[in-house]
Every structure is written in structure tokens, then in C-alpha cells.
Amino acid sequence: MAQIGYTLMCEQTPPRQLVDDAVSAERAGFDYETISDHYFPWLEEMGHSPYAWSVLGAVAQATERIPLMTYVTCPIMRYHPAVVAQKAATMGALSDGRFTLGLGAGENLNEHVVGNGWPPVNIRHEMFGEAIEIIQALFGGEYISYRGDHFTVDSAKLYDLPDEPVPVGIAASGRQSVDLAAEYGDALIATEPDAELVERFRASGGAGKPIYGQLVVSYDTDAKAARERAHRLWKWFPAGWKVLAELPGPVNFAAYAQFVRPEDVAEHVPCGSDVDAVVRAVKEFTDAGFTHVALVQAGADHQREFLGWAEKELLPALRNL
């Protein structure tokens, strides 16, 4: 049976509400929670983007049992990997071991803010590999020094570590990143129910490790309103990762999204109150071999209604997968 998660979407929700939603999701019976880690929202209409790590600290104290995870943090530009290791270790300690560090190679949208440009994908993967090596070495608790092609660490050590090392999940979308995830990661993270990615991950050394996916939904008792909201907030989504990783700002996402129709979004996002539609969409992930699927409810103003529906109707139905 797949674990069903709830996503704290920083790009659409103010920070205080994110903490309240985390508590409500735990009470509703979700198995784990993920949080996005952005500097910008994808669209201006989304309207928010608080610092995920501050929110995580508050969520760790406000919740009791539920596992937490970044989905995902980029450790190659906006954050130096030595700083990511410290943040993650602190979160592991604050949450009593409930934290998993989800890592990815990032988006131009968030990383350009430090003014170092946006490297081509092959360079980003090189940087990502070095960053993972640094983070995992620091999790060992000893002094490390590191000199790679992209990163240098000068005699660093983490003084506050959880009892067990923080698990590392690695986002992947193609062969190179899947192999990296299998070699270095404790879990695979992917955005689409791609069985070939899962098979390659398992064959490359990831057998038995968790595999995380994510599904956007737009719950509303008014199906038309649900479709309108999904289109207004998530019309950038059908572009796919090769486009999404390269666009530099919300205005660029809006320029792409002007050509996306409501029906294009609805192909990817179950809209309305049909439990079976969400179950079918989640089943695409589980059939592809995913062990965890986190749900994202579109719209900050509809989280309470979604969580009530999830507790009473959706989660019981998903438990039967």
C-alpha cells in the first residue's frame, strides 16, 4: 500500500497558514508531508514564497508524528551544500528523526537570484553530484575538506546531528540523474509516473528504496470552479521539466502559459470532488512502482475543505490501492 502525503506549497500559501495546514493534515491522517523550497512562485497569481526552512522548523514543533521532507531543495547555487547539510541535520534533530532531505538540480526561477547565471544541464549535474558528496560526508559528523571542480569546503563539521543520519532523496528525470539517485540516494523522487525511471533506478542500485511522486489536485464541490482555479494557478505545469527548469521568472512562465487551455491542465490535474478520479491518478504512480505519492491541493483558500474531504472520503479510498 502506498504512503499518501500532503504537500505544503509555499508558492501559494502564507507562512502561518502553512503551519496550520501541516497540523491539520497530520490530524486528517496523511502519512507524511512535503514542502516546496522556492525563492519565487511560478506565477504572480500564486502570490507567496516564504523561506521553506523557517516554515519547516515551525512545522517540526507544531506536529507530533508525521514525517517531513523537502520536495525539493537545490544545493548548487542559492545554497552552498555545506549550509544545506547543516540545515538538514538541524531539522533531523528538531523533528526527532522525522526529516528526509529531498534534493534536486534546481530551476533557473529560484537560483538566478544570486547572480551567477544558470549553467547548462550537464554542468548542473556535475555540481549536483559534488554537492551530494559534500552533504553526505558532513552527515558523518567529522571534519571534512573538499576541493572539486565546482565546490570547495574548508574544514567543516556539523556539531548537531540527529541520532540517525538524515535520509537523502534525489530527484531525477532522465538516465544521468536516475543513476545519480541510485548511487547516492536513499530514495528516488520523480514528478511523473514513469515506470522506466523506476526500473532503471532499481536496476542501478535502488532496489528496495522508497520512490516518491507528487500529484496536483483541485478539489471543489463545483467542478467548473475547480477547473478554473487549476488553470489560473497551474497553467504552467504542462510544459514539462526541460522547459520549467530553464525559465527565469514568473513573467516567463506566464508567457508560456498564455497558450495553455483549461482542458490541457485538467488532463494532468483531477478537478472537482470525484474520489475515483484522484484514485485513478494515484494508481498511475503506484502501478509504475512508486511507494509514496504526495497530493498538492491547488489554492491556499481551499486547503481546509480539501483536508476535510481527504479525511472523510479520499484517504479511505486510497488505502485500498
From the candidates 38, 112, 231, 292, give the one annotated as an active-site residue: 38
From the candidates 107, 111, 231, 292, give the one annotated as an active-site residue: 107
Length of the chain measured in residues: 321
Opening angle at CA 190, ends 63 and 273, nearest 5 = 65
Catalytic site residue 38?
yes
Distance CA 158, CA 133 (A): 15
What does 194-254 look like in DSSP terms, one character per residue? Answer: -HHHHHHHIIIIITTS-EEEEEEEEE-SSHHHHHHHHHHHHTTGGG-HHHHTT--SHHHHH
Nearest Cα to Cα of residue 85 among 154, 160, 32, 155: 160
Task: Please say whether the beta carbons of 13 and 295 come within 8 A.
Answer: no
CB atoms inside a 10 Å sphere around CB 310: 26
Considering all CA atoms of the chain, what is the largest pairwise distance in Å, rounded to the nearest integer?
A: 58
Q: What is the DSSP letter of 166?
A: P
Nearest Cα to Cα of residue 272 among 294, 297, 293: 297
Active site residues: 38, 107
